[in-house]
């Protein structure tokens, strides 16, 4: 059995404990019903002799021009399209080292609460991954029309450049038309939320306690969409000097927008002791492989240098496209982007 800080360290128990510790950071994109757990990824990879990439075929809808039944026109048949979605496994790893001497000087038990800290760290890693994916999606140039239709940018307006009573409803209608009911959650920077509060546009959910007193739940809605406030949402300083302003991105998503699976690794956590260096070092090594798949968006592997995409590669629009039939030219057909419950609003607050 491995040892750490003169204590028995069981990696199996440690991994189970990591799964039980609650998350304490905001990391809004990995909470609030935005992840749809799937459990068959490892089996799929085994069927395809391992690897890190899956291409999933998707049956298209029946289509084609209806013919006039008049006793004269011959009936001709067409075939339905088959679409495909690329899914990439994302691997990340990190190690931490602690000197024996530091522990002796401070009296700090580094092992205490370690699983909680590792969980919190990887929650932040996963949030960065999802933000990189969203940035990459909105950098696509695939010809589907998704980016233009699903982006509402009011930040460059001379007036009305901050969110208002109609901003959200107009944005999701522009994105999905009669399918706008698919949108459920708006994730925004606190500056945007504060502007909405100042306009009395946030409606806080309430409950009645055991004494009959009505209290706020601390959760708000905007036009019926759950509002999540997280200052990790993208911001960008535009312009220079007196003309500079900050542009804030608000994401609006549907429930369970990302399929998610913790695919796992051979050894997720392990300890190593080096008794020689600096009088004694102990190092924790951690690894993870996870799957995050946005609805109806495909990862292409067009710009990927190794077997796992970096955040920079996830941000590269060349790696993403709306799910399509895999053909080229005029024969290429995309799924209707109205069915993708993802939109962004860019504003000055």
Positive/negative CA dihedral, 292, 313, 332, 44: negative
**What are phi and psi for residue 303, nearest 5 degrees?**
-130, 85
CATH of the domain at 200: 3.90.1690
- Contact (CB, 8 A) for 328 and 320: no
| Structural domain of 286 | 3-60+81-347
Q: Is 27 exposed, middle or buried (0-12, 13-18, 19+ CB in 10 A)?
A: buried
Q: Domain for residue 342, yes or no?
A: yes
Q: Domain for residue 200, yes or no?
A: yes
pLDDT for residue 250: 98
Domain count, the chain: 1
Q: What is the pLDDT of residues 154-178, one digit of tens each?
A: 999 999 999 999 999 999 999 999 9
Q: Domain for residue 316, yes or no?
A: yes
| pTM of the complete model | 0.85
Q: What is the pLDDT of residues 176-214, one digit of tens each?
A: 999 999 999 999 999 999 999 999 999 887 666 666 666
pLDDT for residue 109: 57
Q: Domain for residue 322, yes or no?
A: yes
């Amino acid at each position: 059995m491995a040892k750490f800080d003169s204590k028995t360290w069981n990696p199996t128990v440690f991994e189970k404990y990591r799964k039980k510790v609650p998350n304490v950071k905001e990391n809004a994109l990995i909470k609030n019903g935005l992840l749809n757990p799937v459990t068959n990824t490892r089996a799929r990879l085994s069927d395809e002799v391992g690897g890190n990439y899956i291409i999933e075929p998707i049956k298209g809808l029946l289509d084609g021009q209806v013919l006039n039944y008049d006793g004269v026109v011959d009936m001709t048949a067409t075939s339905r399209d088959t679409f495909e979605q690329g899914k990439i496994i994302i691997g990340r790893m990190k190690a931490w080292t602690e000197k024996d001497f530091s522990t002796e000087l401070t009296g700090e038990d580094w092992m205490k609460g370690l699983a909680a800290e590792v969980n919190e760290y990887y929650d932040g890693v996963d949030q960065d991954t999802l933000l990189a994916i969203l940035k990459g999606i909105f950098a696509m140039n695939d010809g589907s029309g998704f980016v233009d239709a699903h982006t509402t940018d009011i930040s460059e307006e001379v007036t009305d450049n901050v969110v208002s009573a109609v901003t959200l409803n107009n944005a999701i209608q522009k994105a999905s038309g009669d399918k706008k009911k698919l949108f459920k959650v708006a994730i925004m920077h606190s500056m945007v939320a504060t502007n909405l509060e100042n306009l009395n546009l946030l409606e806080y959910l309430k409950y009645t306690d055991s004494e009959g007193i009505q209290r706020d739940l601390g959760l708000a809605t905007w036009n019926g969409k759950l509002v999540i406030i997280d200052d990790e949402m993208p911001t960008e300083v535009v312009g220079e000097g007196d003309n500079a302003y900050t542009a804030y991105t608000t994401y609006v998503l549907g429930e369970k927008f990302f399929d998610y699976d913790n695919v796992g690794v051979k050894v997720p956590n392990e300890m190593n002791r080096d008794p020689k260096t600096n009088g004694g070092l102990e190092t924790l090594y951690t690894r993870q492989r996870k799957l995050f798949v946005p609805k109806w968006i495909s990862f292409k592997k067009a710009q990927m240098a190794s077997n796992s995409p970096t955040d920079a590669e996830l941000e590269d629009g060349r790696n993403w496209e709306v799910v399509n039939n895999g053909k080229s030219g005029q024969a290429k057909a995309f799924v209707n982007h109205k069915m993708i419950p993802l939109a962004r609003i860019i504003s000055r607050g």
